[in-house]
Amino acid sequence: MSDEDNFIRLADRMALLPPYLFGRINRRRDELRKAGVDVIDMAMGNPTDATPEPIVEKLIEVVRDPRNHRYSVGGGIYNLRREVAKYYQREWDVDLDPASEVIATIGSKEGFSHLCLALIGPGDTALIPTPSFPIHSHGVALAGGHYIGINVLDDEHFLSELDQLCRTLKPAPKVLFLNYPHNPSAHTVEQAFFDAVVPLAKKHELIVVHDFAYGKVCFDGYRAPSFLRSPGAKDVGVEFTTMSKTFNMAGWRIGFCAGNPKIISALGAIKGYYDYGIFQAIQIAAIIGMRHCGEFADQQAQKYQRRRDVVLEGLQRIGWPDVPKPRAGMFVWAPIPAEFATAGSMAFADQLLEDAAVTVSPGAGFGPEGEFAVRMALVENRQRLQQAVRQIGRAFRKWRDPVTQKEMS
C-alpha cells in the first residue's frame, strides 16, 4: 500500500466478514485449470444444465421491445406477482394476494440480505439453523444484529431449544430463519414441523423467514412442504423461493418473497432505495417458466436424483462410508472419513483438489458445526461425477499407502 492510500479506512462492518473459504478454493481451482488440469467442480451449487427453451425463447422475443429497456417496477410487475400466486396455489395449495403478499427479488440472496436490513438492527437477536448458508448468518451480522445457531439435524431438539431460547434470552430473539430443504446438510422436514413452529412464533412474538430455494428439487417421492401452507404462517412470516435451481436460472437472478404483507412492504421499502428491480424481459420470461415448464422442473429433479445415486454408490465403493442419502436439494453432505478428518475440512478440501483434481466445499465455510464434513454439489453430469469419484478413490489409495502417510506426516 502506498502512503497515499493510508487514509483509506473501511467500515467496521467489514471486520464482521470472515475469510471467504470458498474463494480460496476457487482461486486454486482456476490456477490449476490455467495450468491445463481438468478440475471437476463439485464445490458450488451453480447449475450447469440449460434453462428451459420456452423461457429462453420468450426472453429473446421480449428483449427486443424497447418498453422493456426502461426501469421496471421495483417489486416486480403485477403479472409476474400474479403468476407467483398461481404457482403457489397449484404447487402447495397456498393462497396469496399478488398485490400485497408477493414481491420479486434479484435472486433470493439479495432479498434475504435486504430483508435483514428491514427486520434487524443493533441489539436484535436472530436464531438460525446450523450449519448455515453464509448469508443466513452474515446477513444478520451486517445488519447490526447478533445470531445464535440451533443444530438443524434433530427436529425435536430444534423446536425445544427454540422454545427455551425464546423463554430465557433477554431481550428475546426477534427473528427465526429457517431453511428446508437445508443447505448445506440437505436435511428435510414434514409439514408438521412448520405446524409446530407457527404457534411457537406467535407465543414468543417471533418473526419467521423461510428460505425455500430447493423446494422443488425433491427425490424418492418426497414433496417439500411450504412454510406458508401451515395455518397462521402468514401472520408471523414470509418465505423465499427462487427460479435458480428449479429452472436452471441461477445467472438470471430472479426470486420471490411471499407472505406477511407488513414484512413484504418493508422489504419493498428497503429495495426502493437500493435497486430498480429486475430487467423486465427477465420477469416476463419467468412467467413462462412457472406457467409452462412444470414438467421440466420435475425432470430436472429426477436428474439430480440420478446424480445423487451415482455419487453415493461411488463413495461407498471407494471406502467413504456413512454418507447420508439426501431426499432433496442439489448437494451431498458428507462427513469426512475418520482417517482423514483430523486436520479439518479446509485441509481435506485443499488436499482433495491437489491430489484428485476435484473441488468440494469445506464444511467449515458453513460454521464450526461443519468442520468435519464437506459439501458436494451435484451440478456436473453423471459421467463427470463418476470420474470425480474415481479420482477421489485414487487419492484415498495414495493417502492410505504407508509410504505416503509417512511422507505426509
Q: How many residues does the chain have?
A: 409
Predicted pLDDT at 176? 99
Mean pLDDT of the chain: 95
* pLDDT band at 339; cut points 50, 70, 90: very high
Question: CB 402: neighbour CB atoms within 10 A?
Answer: 7
* Domain residue ranges in the chain: 12-50+296-402, 53-293
Question: CB 34: neighbour CB atoms within 10 A?
Answer: 8
Pick among 3.40.1350.10, 3.40.50.2300, 3.40.640.10, 3.30.720.200: CATH of 53-293: 3.40.640.10
pLDDT tens across 347-374, in order?
A: 999 999 999 999 999 999 999 999 999 9
Let me know if 386 is exposed, middle or buried by CB neighbors in 10 A (0-12, 13-18, 19+).
middle
- Do the first three CATH levels of 12-50+296-402 and 53-293 match, i.e. the same topology? no
Q: Which of 9-13, 183-187, 202-206, 252-256 has the lowest mean pLDDT?
A: 9-13
Predicted pLDDT at 295? 96
Amino acid at 294: G
3-class DSSP string for 276-316: CCCCHHHHHHHHHHHHHCHHHHHHHHHHHHHHHHHHHHHHH
Residue 4 confidence (pLDDT) above 70: no
Long-range contacts from 117-124, C-beta under 8 angstroms, 24+ separation: 117/143, 117/270, 118/263, 118/266, 118/267, 118/269, 118/270, 119/143, 119/174, 119/175, 119/207, 119/209, 119/263, 119/266, 120/144, 120/145, 120/174, 120/175, 121/145, 123/171, 124/171, 124/174, 124/175
pLDDT tens across 25-75, in order?
A: 889 999 999 999 999 999 999 999 999 999 999 999 999 999 999 999 989
Let me know if 3 is exposed, middle or buried by CB neighbors in 10 A (0-12, 13-18, 19+).
exposed
Fold of domain 12-50+296-402? Aspartate Aminotransferase, domain 1 (3.90.1150)
pLDDT tens across 128-165, in order?
A: 999 999 999 999 999 999 999 999 999 999 999 999 99
Average pLDDT over residues 178-185: 98
Residue 341 confidence (pLDDT) above 90: yes
Average pLDDT over residues 218-226: 98
State the pTM of this model.
0.95
Predicted pLDDT at 129? 97
Predicted pLDDT at 18? 78
pLDDT tens across 235-288, in order?
A: 999 999 999 999 999 999 999 999 999 999 999 999 999 999 999 999 999 999
Residue 409 confidence (pLDDT) above 60: no
